[in-house]
Amino acid sequence: MDIESVAPTEIPEGAHLIDVREDDEWTAGHAPRAQHVPASSFMEHLGELPEDDDPLFIVCRSGGRSFQVTQWLNQNGFEAINVAGGMDIWFESSLPMVSETDAEPYVL
């Protein structure tokens, strides 16, 4: 099965962006409109995903974890798209980021 991937700059405005990085990575910096659902506990939080028919854009730090989650979602009835290069490329592309602390957001 081929997995569709897009660059961070190609994510449509208003799209469902799901960040599957772990808590410390999320706290350091994330996309302002992202929803946090860590890959390590993804199954426990499956019910928190949006229930409409819009695709889910899945992001991690560099694209590995998001690829695996995207693959699983697509095999289980969801429409999911991997964000190639992840938050590393997001940051390099100067896209907006926020932090859960007072520190400047960064990619951990």
Q: Tell me the backbone φ, ψ of residue 23, rounded to 5 degrees.
A: -55, -45
**Residue (of 44, 48, 46, 42) closest to 65 by Cα position:** 42
Residues classed as catalytic: 60
What does 60-77 look like in DSSP terms, one character per residue? -SSSHHHHHHHHHHHHTT
Contact 78, 57 (CB under 8 A): no
